[in-house]
Amino acid sequence: MAVAASWSVGILIASAIAALGGLSWLLYTAHQEEKHFPLRECSPQEAYGETLWRMIFVYWLVYCGARGLQIAVPLEGTELGQMCKITALLALLLTASSLLCLPLHYWQARQGQQQLN
């Protein structure tokens, strides 16, 4: 049981680091684009897609933080433990819904481009 628990903790830490890296990469590229093209306006589709990516990474970081707190500190039966469980559940649901919205957004944007052409 301890091996499985340490394996899942390792995956949780690795995914949190990956999400932090993805979020920092998104913020860095946005900063570089703004620095090189200060007057460029992005389309609503681009802004929405970028916002979805940011939401995915941020919600996953919140999930990893809440789950990590549950694992690191024995909070079972306390109010803080219940809040961590609810936070983790909501963050997981928000991550999943954002992940589902992303391909739908790209599909809708492609449909809009095809209608314009």
Q: What is the pLDDT along the chain (117 residues), one digit of tens a residue?
A: 455 578 889 999 999 999 999 999 999 998 888 888 877 788 888 888 899 999 999 999 999 999 999 988 888 888 988 999 999 999 999 999 999 999 998 898 888 888 877
Task: Write the DSSP symbol of residue 49.
Answer: H
Task: Give the long-range contacts of residues 105-110, CB within 8 A, separation 24 or more.
Answer: 105/45, 105/48, 105/49, 105/52, 106/49, 109/45, 109/49
- Between CA 28 and CA 77, with CA 64 as vertex, the angle to 5 degrees is 150
Q: Which residue, 5, 6, 20, is CA-closest to 65?
A: 20
Q: What residues have CB less than 8 Å from 26, skipping those under 6 apart?
A: 50, 53, 54, 57
Total Cβ atoms within 10 A of residue 22: 16
Give the angle subtended at the CA of 116 by the CAs of 111 and 117, to the nearest 5°: 100
Q: Among 82, 90, 81, 96, which residue's Cα sits nearest to residue 63?
A: 90
Prediction pTM value:
0.86
